[in-house]
A and B are shown apart, each in its own frame.
Chain A
Amino acid sequence: MSMTDGPTPLRTAAAEQAAEDREASPKAPGRSALRQQGKRKSGYFSDRWHALSRQQQWAFLVIVVVLAYLLPLLNPPIITTEPGNNFALACFDMARFALIAVGLNIVVGYAGLLDLGYVAFFAVGSYVAAMLTSPDSPYLHIPYLWTLPVAMAVTMFFGVMLGVPTLRLRGDYLAIVTLGFGEIIRILATIIPAMKGQVGFQNVGHPPGDGADGTPIFSNSNGVPWYWLTLTIIIIVTLLVGNLERSRVGRAWIAIREDEDAAEIMGVPTFKYKVWAFAIGAAVGGLSGALFAGQVGFVNNQKFDVTTSILFLAAVVLGGAGNKVGAILGGALVSYIPLRFTAIAEYKYLIFGIALVLIMIFRSQGLLPARQRLLAYGRTAMNKITSRDATETKDTDKPPAGPGAHAAGQRGAEA
């Protein structure tokens, strides 16, 4: 949005806010009911989740995490994707999509930049892992686990390279440049001999460790260890991203998303933070690419269609752009639906294309809307302002609210 647009963006934002406020109150019960029956734990998110004490929240999270870890072992009857697809591998695929969605959510959800070539970063990460571990590649070989940080660094570099020329301009240009970049990476993988085109790289490395029978624990056919590894990485990344979200960086992103001109005027160095969002998002994409390369064990130029980028985008948008739990949920769903309902797998691109349009027209905030209010100030401050009952405010104010909330509160106060 350019400066010459005058008051238009402000008015748009205000009108939207008003519309949101109007629809927020009457719809709230219906919405939470819908979420409650649809997905675990999401129903508690906006209000009830915050009404719980910190201990209850942790307890609940621990249960959810333990259940998530046990998921491939439990193999619950109705949820399972078998006999069509191996459930453990399906779980890994869901986790992979969830991780990608967490990364893309930083770019699309927090900073409001449209990245349509996310698969390119995924591809770069895969190729880094493949070229540094596969016996087919003539380059330096390093242990597989070391390729994960290397892949992140390399994709981050690509993100900066791509972000610097485009992010000074309006967001639209980024969309088309990333769309082109997704295609270019595929073409380059085809024509540069070092990338081995369709022949690709066999026997990409995997984490060390052998089972009792001497076969590697992290084999291509066994999804469970890969799933656990990815899930652990998702948890770490989500915690880190959550901290970023509550920091100065996260506030800058959200300011940029809501109104870039206003953010710039208020002194937010928008360009710098946009590049940060783009680079961090790219790094997470590279990380998931490296994981994918390790699990599949084979990388060639056929795996990285630009269309896959749109699935990634659908995952973020479906879950709720700007909400990291929503992104995880959206990613898992986008992967899960075609695996579970194999009859419609052929139509998945069409289904998610239509879903994108419909979600945008009817529910642009996705399944789990992003939190709009007081992101920076921690729960104590939020309770103080939002609770109508003064005594209740005092009660929730007294017990120490945990280090995270305090730190966030202090940072908020500083800023």
Chain B
Amino acid sequence: MLPSLVPLLPTENDWITFDIPSLIQNFWSATFDGLTFGAIYALVALGYTLVYGVLNLINFAHSEVFIVGCYAVFFTLSSLGFGPSAPRLDIWAIILNLLLALVLAMLASAVTAFLLERIAYKPLRQRNAPRLVFLITAIGASFTIQYLIYLWRGPSPELALTMFRPTPIFDVFGTIVDSQQLVIIIAAVIMMVGIDRFISKSRTGRGIRAVAQDPDTATLMGVNKERIIITTFVIGGLLAGAAALFYVMKIPSGVQYSGGFVLGIKAFAAAVLGGIGNVRGALLGGLLLGLIGNYGQILLGNSQWTDVVAFVVLVLVLLLRPEGILGTSLGRSKA
């Protein structure tokens, strides 16, 4: 029995390492890459967090809202003539094309989220269904959309598209930051600041916070709860669509029927890490999770560890600080 234990030990071969020198060496590049992924997680996490804040529901189908956006990006760009090699267009044409893809992806995702709410969740809300019923419906809806895509596009990922060749922009701590990373991080942060202002300043945002705090009182005060719920789903969809563009930009081969699944879990973990129901929490949680995942991957020596690390973070947060870093503040604090 004793010698048979040897293969379990990590020294035998390097499926798991604890490579601190490699982490130190790659620290800054891992940081920028992690922030890029984190920005994408954060945009998707916002969709989870907003719906959770308003309805107290984990919208499992949000990952499919996101993947629909990815397909919209793919079809828009491939019909515009983008292919596996970098396009020979001047920079303004590329920007215009990408903006078009962004708008269409946001629309596609928002429409998916809207239909989802109308078809699957509204009938349940109307008859005050128990929580378990909501969750099962959510996972069923997620599954349905996923396999509709599967039957339509098959199991293999779509052709990888290159939107533009990442060019080095500047040098920080000996690490080159390229245009792709910069575009994703800046665009995502602008959107997140925008959504934060929207939630805290605008009339609709106030309505969302009111419904999150107390749906019944909000209704009595003249807030149209149904409209707020739809708005929340649509905002989540819009952000998921934006995230889809950045995701396809970062991982061109990631457009696949099941591509949203793992990203959805990571985005949810990000939302929980920051404090679910909290808009700023989703931002912070997303960026942190992106960093932790990337560091963990380098430390442990295999890219597949990213998912495991994200999962372990989720469990640890639930164990140690279930309200997340910033607490749950869209409505009241929840246990």
Contact = CB atoms under 8 A, between A and B. Distances in A.
Interface of A: 1-4, 12, 15-16, 19, 108, 112, 114, 116, 138-140, 162, 165-166, 168-173, 175-177, 179-181, 183-184, 187-188, 190-194, 257, 306-307, 310, 313-314, 317, 321, 346-347, 349-350, 352-357, 360-361, 364
B320 to A, nearest CB: 9
Nearest to B312: A184
Interface in B118-136: 120, 123-124, 127-133, 135-136
8 contacts: A3-B335, A4-B332, A168-B322, A172-B131, A173-B272, A175-B139, A193-B15, A317-B136
A349 B140 CA distance: 10
B95 interface: no
Contact of B304 (A187, A350, A352): A187
Contacts of B319: 165
B131 A176 contact: no
Nearest to B216: A8
Interface of B: 1, 4, 7-8, 12-13, 15-16, 56-58, 60, 120, 123-124, 127-133, 135-137, 139-144, 146-148, 150-151, 261-262, 265, 268-269, 272, 302, 304-305, 307-308, 310-311, 314-316, 318-319, 322, 332-335
Contacts of A16: 128-130
A404 to B, nearest CB: 29
Contact of B318 (A166, A183, A350, A353): A166
Contact of B144 (A108, A162, A313, A350): A350
Contacts of A346: 151
A16 B131 CA distance: 12
B144 A357 contact: yes
A364 B151 contact: no
B133 A360 contact: yes
B314 A180 contact: yes
Given A116-B139, A307-B143, 9 more contacts: A166-B315, A168-B322, A170-B335, A184-B311, A187-B308, A191-B15, A192-B16, A350-B144, A350-B151
B147 A15 contact: no
Nearest to B57: A172
B238 to A, nearest CB: 23
Given A112-B132, A165-B318, A183-B261, A313 B311 contact: no
B305 A360 contact: no
A166 B127 CA distance: 29
A9 to B, nearest CB: 9
Contacts of A353: 140-144, 146-147
Nearest to A13: B130
Contact of B13 (A1, A193, A347, A361): A193
Given A172-B58, A180-B311, A114 B136 contact: yes
A162 B128 CA distance: 30
A2 B334 contact: yes
A175 B143 contact: no
Contacts of B262: 183
Contacts of B57: 172
A361 to B, nearest CB: 5
B123 A356 contact: no
- Chain B interface SS verdict (over half): helix
A133 to B, nearest CB: 14
Given A172-B131, A180-B311, A191-B305, A356 B147 contact: no
A358 to B, nearest CB: 8
Contact of A19 (B127, B132, B307): B127
Contacts of A352: 143
Contacts of A364: 129, 133
Contact of A2 (B124, B151, B261, B335): B335
Chain B CB within 10 Å, residue with most, of A3, A108, A112, A170:
A170
A360 B8 CA distance: 45
A138 B7 contact: yes
Contact of B7 (A1, A19, A170, A193): A193
Given A140-B4, A180-B265, A349-B147, A191 B132 contact: no
Contacts of A193: 7, 12-13, 15
Chain B CB within 10 Å, residue with most, of A172, A190, A347, A364:
A172
Contacts of A173: 272, 318, 322
Contacts of A138: 4, 7
B58 A191 contact: no
B136 A184 contact: no
A364 B128 CA distance: 12
A4 B333 contact: yes
Contact of A349 (B12, B128, B141, B150): B150
Nearest to B300: A191
A3 B335 CA distance: 8
Contacts of A112: 130, 132
Given A175-B135, A176-B268, A177-B318, A360 B124 contact: yes
A1 B131 contact: yes
A389 to B, nearest CB: 35
Contacts of B8: 194
A357 B315 CA distance: 28
Nearest to B143: A353
Contacts of A183: 261-262, 265, 307, 311
A187 B303 CA distance: 11
A188 B308 contact: yes
B120 A357 contact: yes
A4 B314 CA distance: 24
B141 A357 contact: yes
A349 B315 CA distance: 29
Chain A CB within 10 Å, residue with most, of B7, B60, B140, B304:
B140
A180 B128 CA distance: 28
A102 to B, nearest CB: 18
Contacts of B268: 176
Contacts of B141: 353, 357
Chain A CB within 10 Å, residue with most, of B15, B147, B335:
B147
A179 B138 CA distance: 13
Given A180-B269, A194-B7, A357-B140, A171 B335 contact: no
Contact of A356 (B13, B140, B148, B302): B140
B143 A169 contact: no
Contact of A179 (B128, B131, B265, B304): B265
A277 B142 CA distance: 26
A306 B131 contact: no
Contacts of B60: 175-176, 179
Given A139-B4, A140-B4, A176 B265 contact: yes
Nearest to A6: B214
Nearest to B5: A139
